[in-house]
Amino acid sequence: MENLQLNYGASNSQRATMAVLASYFALFGCYVAVLQLIAKSYNILFFGALILFVLALFLVLKNTAWKPAPVLEIDTNKIESNLPGKKKISVEWVNVSKVNIGTSYFVFLTNGEQKQRDMDLSDLRFSDLKTAKSKIIELCEHKNIPYHND
């Protein structure tokens, strides 16, 4: 079974391009700031170069080290939703006893249908929502978990 990961961030090529451009700006800002330090000229150009360096360094880190988490991750062990502005929800398939599938939400009944975990995926694109539904149905059939559409 293949895992499903939905990322709504920038693609890898866009991230690499932004990292290269930002590193160029960081080097340029550092170069101008060092020249101003050597000349002992602390004018607007020096402070502008420092600000450019700090902002460019922030952009390099944002595009390399600080990658956003996947919006939705479905594998054979768990399903995890991390939509912006909503609570992070994680459900392990071992605990699921039944799944109710709605138009843009899932209700996982866990622990012998005693607990209920709601996962609202209305912020996803329609094509991604269809893919997530088909993946959940596929996993329910594979794990013999009953499901039905609401």
Note the pLDDT tens digit of each residue in 88-137.
Answer: 899 998 888 999 999 889 999 988 778 898 998 888 899 999 999 999 99
Give the pLDDT band (50/70/90) at residue 49: very high
Overall number of domains in the chain: 2
Q: Are 81 and 121 in contact (CB under 8 A)?
A: yes
Q: What is the pLDDT confidence band of residue 22, given thresholds at 50, 70 and 90?
A: very high
Return the pLDDT at 126. 92
Highest mean pLDDT among 38-42, 53-57, 63-67, 101-105 belongs to: 53-57
Query: Taken in order 114, 119, 132, 16, is the CA torsion positive or negative?
Result: negative
Specify if 128 maps to a domain. yes
pLDDT at 8 over 90: no
- Give the range of the structural domain holding residue 16, as residue numbers without chain letter: 9-64
**Domain identity same for 49 and 106:** no
Mean residue pLDDT of the chain comes to: 89
Identify the band that residue 65 occupies on the pLDDT scale cut at 50, 70 and 90: confident
Same domain, residue pair 81 and 107: yes
Q: Determine how β-strand 72-74 pairs with β-strand 96-101.
A: unpaired
88/141 same-domain check = yes
C-alpha separations of 93 from 4, 78, 124, 130, 150 in Å: 15, 5, 22, 20, 20
Question: Does the residue 13 lie in any domain?
Answer: yes
Band of pLDDT at residue 21, cut at 50, 70 and 90: very high
